[in-house]
Amino acid sequence: MPKAPDMLLLFFCLVGAADALHKQWIPDTNYENKTNWDKGAVPCGNDRVQFPAQRKVSVFVNNMHAVQELWLPIDGEFILNSGAGFYVVSGQDPGCGAGVVTQFKDSESLQWFDPALWQAAASLDDLQRGNFLFSVHDESVPCQYDDVVFKEHSSFRVDTSSHQSSIPVKSVSVLGKKFKGNSEFSQYLSSRSGQLQFHGSSAVTVGNPECEDPTGCDCGNSANHQQICSTVTCASLSCKKPLLPVGHCCNVCGAIVTIRYAAGFNLETYRQRIHHLFLILPQYKSLQLGMSKVFKSQRLMGIVPFGASPEIQVVIVDGEKGIQSEGLAKDILKDVSAHGSNLGITEAEFQASTGGSTDPPGGSVGMWVGIVFGVLILITLITVMVVLIQRGVLRMPSSLPLSLPSLSSLRRRSDVGELGGPLDHGFDNPIFDRPSMLPDIPGMYETETNRSISMTQTGVHFVNPVYDENETDFNA
C-alpha cells in the first residue's frame, strides 16, 4: 500500500491542466441593498424614494415594496423578480418611522479595472462558499482567459473605459445567463439592459479560448497596469524590507518565492498542493497566497535588457512584519528540495520583507563572475581592434563624421609655427633669395630702360614681356 505522501501526490497529478479562474463583480444596483441608499437603509412605506432624473441606472427588485412616493429616472429600468413590485401606502406604515426622503446612490464611477471590485475563485462553487483567491492587482481584474460572473439575481452598472478598444475574456454571465460567443453577447450589449449595465469607451468581448498551457498563461493586463494602479491606495508598512511583486501596485510585507520549471509542471496542480500541504495549517491560515506565471526581464551584466523569461511567482502576504510569510517560504523551498523533480520544478528561491533570502546555486557569485568576464571580453576586443588598425589590417571608415588624427599628422602639425611667424621657403636659392651673391652682369638689374628683372625687399621679380602692358603688340 502506498504511503500517505505518495497518495497525496497521485491525487494532485489527477487534477488535470490549469483551468481559468472565475472573477465575480462585487457591487450591484439592487433595490434591497442598503448600501445603495444615501440614508443607509432600504426605503419603507413612509419614505419618499427618489431616483435622480438624469441618472442612468438598471435596478434589480427582488421583493414587493411599499412607498409614499416614487420618483423615476428618465433613462433607467427596473428588473422585477417574480412577485416583486411597488405599491403606495395610503396611511402610515407603523413599522417605518416618521419617513424620510431617500435617494439611490450614483454608480457611474464604478470601474472595471478597479481590483477592489472583484472576487476570484477557482470554481463557481468556491464563489458561493466564499473561498476566494488572492492575486496581485493586475490579476485581480478579469484576465483574458477568465470567466466573468455578475450575480444571478442582481443588476449593476460598470464603466469599461480603458486605453484599448476591447476587453477580451473567456465568458460573461449576466442574470444567470452565460455568454460564450461574441455574436450573442454583442446583441445583449446593444439591448436596453446591456446599455444601462455596461458603459464606457471599451467593449467587453467574449469567446477568448481557454489557457491550454498547463504551466499557466499571461493574464494580459500588463498594458492596463497604470490604469489599475490609479484606483489603488497603498497602505503604510512597518516591515523591515517591503517587497514589490510583479503585477502589483503596492509594496507588501511578506515573501516572494520564485520558481523555475521544466516540462511536466502544472500550475493548478501545484496551487492545490500548496493549499492542502500548508495553507490549512493553523500557523498559516491568516496568510494570503497568490500564484501566477510572470515574465521577468533578463539583463546582460545586470544592465542591458535582452528578453524575458517565464517564472512562477508565489506571493505570500501577512498583516504583521512578514515573519510567518518567511516561515511558509522556507517550507515551500524544503518541499521543492524533496519533491521538485517530480513536480517539474528545477529551481526555487525566496526573498522576505524581514531581510531573509536565498540565492540560487551560484546566484550572487555567478552574477559577479559574469560581469568580470564581460568586462574582460570588452577590453580584449578593443585591444585587438587597435592592433589591427595600426598594422593596416583594418581601416577606419571614411564616413565617420570626425576622424581621429594619425600620429604622423600630429607630428607634422607640431612643427608648424605660430600664426604670423616666418614663412618656410623650402630651400635656399642663392640666385634669387640672396641678391648679394649674384654675379655682376651688366644690364641684369632694373634700369630706366630695362625692367625685365627688379629687386625689392621681398626678393627678385621678373617681367614677362608677352604679358607686360608696356611691350609692343606682337600682332602688329
- Of 11-15, 136-140, 405-409, 469-473, least confident by mean pLDDT is 11-15
What percent of the chain is predicted at pLDDT more than 70? 72
CA distance between the termini of the chain? 137
pLDDT of residue 455: 54
DSSP string, 137-151: HHHHSPPTTPEEE--
pLDDT of residue 390: 74
| 3-class DSSP state of 256 | strand
- Of 51-65, 99-113, 204-218, 366-380, least confident by mean pLDDT is 366-380
Averaged pLDDT, 415-432: 51
- Of 31-35, 333-337, 375-379, least confident by mean pLDDT is 375-379
pLDDT in tens, 97-119: 889 999 999 999 999 999 999 99
Band (pLDDT 50/70/90 cuts) for residue 121 is very high
CB 133 within 8 A of CB 271: no
Averaged pLDDT, 426-431: 54
pLDDT of residue 409: 47
- Of 120-124, 361-365, 419-423, 452-456, least confident by mean pLDDT is 361-365
DSSP string, 152-191: TT----EE---SSSEEE-SEEEETTEEE-SHHHHHHHHTS
pLDDT of residue 91: 82
Cα distances from 116 to residues 23, 24, 134, 138, 335, in angstroms, run 12, 11, 11, 11, 33
- Is the pLDDT at 473 greater than 50, yes or no? no
CB 306 within 8 A of CB 300: yes
Averaged pLDDT, 229-250: 94
- Of 22-36, 191-205, 297-311, 372-386, least confident by mean pLDDT is 297-311
- Is the pLDDT at 303 greater than 80, yes or no? no
pLDDT of residue 10: 36
- Is the pLDDT at 143 greater than 60, yes or no? yes
pLDDT of residue 90: 82
pLDDT of residue 4: 41
Averaged pLDDT, 399-414: 46
pLDDT of residue 363: 41
What percent of the chain is predicted at pLDDT more than 90? 61
- Is the pLDDT at 269 greater than 70, yes or no? yes
- Of 33-47, 59-73, 346-360, least confident by mean pLDDT is 346-360
- Is the pLDDT at 360 greater than 90, yes or no? no
- Is the pLDDT at 378 greater than 90, yes or no? no
CB 318 within 8 A of CB 324: yes
- Of 186-190, 207-211, 383-387, least confident by mean pLDDT is 383-387
Average pLDDT across the chain, whole number: 81
CB 314 within 8 A of CB 259: yes
pLDDT of residue 71: 94
pLDDT of residue 238: 86
pLDDT of residue 141: 97
| 3-class DSSP state of 432 | coil
CB 356 within 8 A of CB 349: no
Q: Kind and range of the H or E element at 400?
A: none
Band (pLDDT 50/70/90 cuts) for residue 7 is very low
Band (pLDDT 50/70/90 cuts) for residue 454 is low
Cα distances from 420 to residues 23, 195, 406, 460, in angstroms, run 86, 88, 26, 22
pLDDT in tens, 58-83: 999 999 999 999 999 999 999 999 99
Band (pLDDT 50/70/90 cuts) for residue 301 is low
CB 113 within 8 A of CB 231: yes
- Of 35-39, 181-185, 381-385, 459-463, least confident by mean pLDDT is 459-463
Higher-confidence residue of 296 and 158: namely 158
User: Residue 472: CB partners within 8 Å, gap ≥ 6?
Assistant: none
Query: Which of 190, 218, 189 has its CA nearest to residue 204?
Result: 189
pLDDT of residue 264: 92
